[in-house]
Structure 1
C-alpha cells in the first residue's frame, strides 16, 4: 500500500526540482539561507540524484595550477562559442593541514568528491585526502607503513553506482631485481565509510611503473597498459575484479556498448578539420558534451579543444590559460553521509568562497 503523500512532501519535491536547476553559484548561496535549506542541499538523496543527473548533461571541469584546484568551469550547451562556460573562482585554493601545496596532486574526482595526494608518490611522508571543496570538508585516509621493498606507488579513485561505494586504489610495484622488471603490481583497496585499514586485493597483471592516468566509467577504474597502448585494464569497484579490454591504437575510437570489443567504432579525423597550430599535437580526452562532442586538452600545453565527430572538426574552447583540466560533476552532498558516524570528517578553514 502506498504511503500517504502530504502537501509538505509535494512542496519539498517541487523545491528540490527548482534548486536542482540552478547554477553552482546560486546553489552555493542558497545553502547559507537557513539550516533547513542547508540540510536539503547537503543531505537529501532526492536533491543529490536530481542535481547530479542534470549536472551530467551540463558538465563542469576543474582547472588547476601548481597542483592546486583554482577554478570550476561550468559548461553550457550553447551554440555561441564565446558563452560556452561560466568561470567560477574558488577562494581560497584547496588548503589542507600539513600539506605542501606545490605537491598537491588531483588523483581523481567522482560525484564532486576529490581524491588528493599530498607529496611525491614515492615519498614516505605523503598523505591522501578525500575532499568536497564546495562544502570545505575533507577526510584524511590513513596510509599503511612505508615499505622500502616497493619503488613505485600510484593511486586511483572510483565509484560504483551499483554498490554506492567510493574506493581508493593503491598500486605498489616491487623493486627491480636481477631477473629484471616485475610483471605485476600489488593492489590495495580502501572503501570510504567501511574500511579502517587497507585491504589486499591481489595482483594486477600490468605493472604500473610510470604515471597512472585513470578514468572512472560504469563503476570501474580504467587505465592503459604502460607499454602496449592497445590494452585497457579495468578494476570493478563492486566486485573488485581486474579485467582487460582490447583497444585501438589510432585516431579516435568509441566503444558504443561497454565491454563489447566488437562495438569499437572509428571516428575518422580529417586533417582539414584540425587547425594548423594544433595539428601535430596529442590530445587527452576530458569528457563528452554538447550532443557527442569530445572535450580534450593538448598534451603539450593547456589549450582546450572540442572535437565534433559529426562535422569532423576541432574548435578551440576559450577558458583561462595555463591550467590543467579534469572532468568534474559538482556536488553539495556532505562527506559525512558517505563516511558515517565512525569516521571523523573535518572542515577546512578559512571556508571556501565562490567569486
Structure 2
C-alpha cells in the first residue's frame, strides 16, 4: 500500500510513530529501511518529537552503581517518578564507573576517566543499541605525562553534527591548554589550541548544553569564577558573568550549571556556612547577563545534615538530591515538601557519587553506521594497572582544583 502513497504522506505517518514501532518498520522492506535509517529522517523524527514535547511525558536517565555494576534506568519526570525501563548497559570500565559527560538527542557521552584515564570515550544510543568508541585524542597520558581534562558534548543544529569537546591542561600548569574537537561527521579529532583559552575550566565541571553551546564554570587569572561557553557552530569561546549576587560572595559556595525550562540556570548551595542556603538562578534572556534572577531559594537547614549534592532541577521546580544515606529525595521550590523517590542506594561514598541524573529521550541517532555493543568497548582488552593499593596515586598526578586553588592564595 505504501507504494501508492506519496512519499510526503508516508513521512508524515512514520514520524509520528514510536521508536519501537519504527525499528519494527525497518524490516518491512528495503525502501523503508533506507528511509528510516537515513540522517534526514532521524532529524525529522527528532524535530517532531521536540514539537510535541508538551503533549508527551519527559524522561530522565538515572545511573547508579550496585555491586560493581552500572545500572541505567529511565524514569518519568512526573510526580510519580515511575521507572519506565532499564537500559541494557554492556560496557566495561577500568574505573568503578564511567563519567557521564552529557546527554543530547538520545545520545549519552561516556568517558572512562574518573580516576584512571584510558582514553575511552563512547557515544551511546541505548534505544537502538548502537555505540561508537571515539579514536584516541592527540594528547594522551603515555606520551605527555600527567594532565587533567574537561569534556563537553552537544549538537550543532546548523550542520546537524554531534561534537565532543576536550580541553587538557598539562602538569597542572596555568597556561593555554590543548583544545580538541571531535565531529561525528568526520570521525577525527581536530586541534583548536590556537583559540587560546584564557580561563581554567574546573576539573570535572558539569556541563550545561543550551542554545547550541556548551557551558562550564571556570576561573580566570584573577581568581574569580565565571561561565565559559563554546559555541558549537562558530567554534569559538565566549564568557559570561555569574549572577551579581554570587560575584562578591565571601562564603565558599558550590556552583553547578543546569538547564531549567530550556534556559541556562545555575545552582548555588552552601550547607556548612553560618547561613546555609540553596538557590536557583535563571538567565531569562540568553546571553544578557543583566537578566540573571533568583528563581527560588530556601534555607539548606531543611536537608538536616544529610545533604550531599543536587542532581537535577525538574520542570516544576523540584530539586532532586542524593543524601548521605544513599536515598534520592526531592524538595519543592520552597524546601518544604520532601518526597522519597524510592531509589535507595548504598551509603558507601563511591556508590553515592556514581548517581547521575540527566534528561533523556528516545531517538534513531546512530541507527545506521554505528556498532552494536559487542563491537564496541565490551570486547576491548582493558590495560593492566600496576598500582600499590596502600599508596594510591591518581593517574592525573595531581588534583588540579587544589593546584589552582593554591595558586590563588
Query: Does the alignment reach a TM-score above 0.5?
Result: yes
Change (3 A) 1:47 1:253: same
Residue 70 of structure 1 is matched in structure 2 by 71
Change (3 A) 1:109 1:154: same
TM score, norm. by length of structure 1: 0.74
Q: Are the equivalent residues in 1 in contact too, given 2:61–2:73 (CA < 8 A)?
A: yes
TM superposition shift of 1:164: 1.9
Q: Are the equivalent residues in 1 in contact too, given 2:153–2:165 (CA < 8 A)?
A: yes
Q: Deviations over 1:228-277 (max 9, x none)?
A: 67511111111111111111335221111111111111134244xx7844
CA distance in 2, matches of 1:33, 1:164: 24
Residue 46 of structure 1 is matched in structure 2 by 44
Q: Deviations over 1:108-160 (max 9, x none)?
A: 1111111111244663x331111112111111111125242552123221222
Residue 320 of structure 1 is matched in structure 2 by 343
Residue 89 of structure 1 is matched in structure 2 by 86
Q: Are the equivalent residues in 1 in contact too, given 2:281–2:294 (CA < 8 A)?
A: yes
Q: Deviations over 1:41-93 (max 9, x none)?
A: 6542332321244458632222212386523333254xxx4x343331123x2
CA distance in 1, matches of 2:374, 2:298: 50
CA distance in 2, matches of 1:275, 1:29: 48
Residue 297 of structure 2 is matched in structure 1 by 269
Does the alignment pair 1:163 with 2:189?
A: no
Does the alignment pair 1:109 with 2:135?
A: no
Residue 60 of structure 1 is matched in structure 2 by 59
Change (3 A) 1:14 1:103: closer
Change (3 A) 1:54 1:325: farther
Does the alignment pair 1:240 with 2:232?
A: no
TM superposition shift of 1:283: 4.4
Change (3 A) 1:246 1:208: closer
Q: Are the equivalent residues in 1 in contact too, given 2:214–2:231 (CA < 8 A)?
A: yes
Equivalent residues, number: 316
Secondary structure at the residue paired with 2:214?
Answer: strand
Does the alignment pair 1:346 with 2:374?
A: no
CA distance in 1, matches of 2:186, 2:313: 30
Change (3 A) 1:64 1:317: same
Change (3 A) 1:268 1:104: closer
Change (3 A) 1:350 1:307: farther
Q: Are the equivalent residues in 1 in contact too, given 2:228–2:238 (CA < 8 A)?
A: yes
TM superposition shift of 1:206: 2.0
Change (3 A) 1:54 1:349: farther
Change (3 A) 1:136 1:157: same
Secondary structure at the residue paired with 1:205?
Answer: coil
Gaps of 5+ in 2: 247-267, 269-278, 346-353, 377-409
Q: 2:120 aligns with which of 110, 121, 127?
A: 127
Change (3 A) 1:197 1:280: closer
Worse-superposed segment, 103-112 or 28-37: 28-37
CA distance in 2, matches of 1:334, 1:295: 30
Q: Are the equivalent residues in 2 in contact too, given 1:152–1:209 (CA < 8 A)?
A: no
Does the alignment pair 1:218 with 2:211?
A: yes
Change (3 A) 1:299 1:208: farther
Q: Are the equivalent residues in 1 in contact too, given 2:207–2:214 (CA < 8 A)?
A: yes
Which structure ranks higher in relative contact order (CA pairs < 8 Å, sequence separation ≥ 6)? 1
Q: Deviations over 1:282-341 (max 9, x none)?
A: 643525424xx2443347555242533xx665543514232613222323313156xxxx
TM superposition shift of 1:224: 0.8
